[in-house]
Amino acid sequence: MASRGVGAALAIAAAGLLAASALGKGWISAGSASVGLMGGEVCRGGKCKTLELPEKDGWRTTGTVAFAAALGAAGLGLVAGIMGLARKRSKVPAVLTLVAALAALGGGIAFILVAPGKGVMEHLAWGAYCGVGGGVFAVVGAILLMRAAGAGPSYAVGMPGTANPAARTLMLAETAKVSGPEAKTMAPGMAMAPQVQAPRPSKGAPAMVPPCPKCHGPLQFAGQFNAWYCPRCQSYLQV
């Protein structure tokens, strides 16, 4: 799915941008001084001196919060991106990345707004642009990964408690066929396991035949169940 690949790429790119902006000292620069989320430095005559952020208007606290949120969003974005490339269907990393990215964006913007002095916007440096850009990338990538994780097919056979009426009818019909000596050889707890039957060819099959999400082989449309059947995996699924 294209959205999954784009979301994974954005999440991984956002991880790099957010980490660089959090660890660097280039959010605001003026002359020989440059300031980051956790402090700054001033270089004169080849010597650099560390600067500590003042607590005026909560600037230091805002920088600390933005620093923690940016690093958290970077780590979660990297995990979500890797899982997206691996086609994992969990939404949890993407949701956590979205929350952390929004916190990082809010903290970064607040860090700029509460900075003491006039003309701060004129002295924004690479760190600020990386932080804001990385936050936007992380938000968009997380949303795409969440949509991709929730758009996959749901299997009809083998899922207890399924709400699909056709799937329940199929399971009951196939279970009723298991009787006699065959039923005696079944292990305890497997009496409800259906014997999957290949579907009859249907004249009303859709023109587009999707691949099986497990083995990527061609599917067959079972019109009597309004479902797809994979001959290799011997299972029905709803697409």
State the pTM of this model: 0.62
Mean pLDDT of the chain: 78
* pLDDT one-digit tens code per residue, 41-51: 988 877 888 88
What is the β-pairing status of strands 47-51 and 227-230?
unpaired
Q: How far is the C-alpha of 167 from the C-alpha of 153, rounded, in Å? A: 14
List the beta bridge partners of residue 49. Answer: 42
Q: How far is the C-alpha of 226 from the C-alpha of 220, rounded, in Å? A: 11
The mean pLDDT value for 117-145 works out to 91
Q: Is the dihedral of CA 106, 109, 113, 114 positive or negative?
A: positive
Residue 46 phi, psi (nearest 5): 80, 0
List the beta bridge partners of residue 42. Answer: 33, 49
Supply the Cα-derived Rg of the chain in whole angstroms: 28
> Which candidate, 213, 151, 148, places its Cα nearest to that of 11?
148
* Structural domains of the chain, ranges and CATH numbers in brackets: 2-149 (1.20.140.150), 154-239 (no CATH)
Side-chain half-sphere of 5: how many Cα atoms within 13 Å? Answer: 2
* pLDDT one-digit tens code per residue, 193-230: 344 445 454 455 555 677 888 888 888 887 777 778 88
> Which candidate, 130, 82, 127, 73, places its Cα nearest to that of 102?
73
Residue 174 phi, psi (nearest 5): -70, -35
- Other beta carbons within 10 angstroms of residue 58's beta carbon come to 13
> Which candidate, 226, 179, 224, 174, places its Cα nearest to that of 197?
174
Q: Which amino acid is at 8?
A: A
Q: How far is the C-alpha of 96 from the C-alpha of 98, rounded, in Å? A: 5
Residues of the chain above pLDDT 90, percent: 40
Q: How far is the C-alpha of 36 from the C-alpha of 66, rounded, in Å? A: 10
Give Cα separations from 158 to 44, 162, 195 (angstroms). 70, 9, 11
Residue 35: strand, helix, or coil = strand
Report yes or no: 228 and 222 within 8 Å, Cβ to Cβ. Answer: yes
Q: Which amino acid is at 132?
A: V
Residue 236: strand, helix, or coil = strand
Residue 187: strand, helix, or coil = coil
pLDDT number for residue 116? 83
Q: Is the pLDDT of residue 32 over 70?
A: yes
Model confidence at 151, in pLDDT bands (50, 70, 90)? low
pLDDT number for residue 150? 73
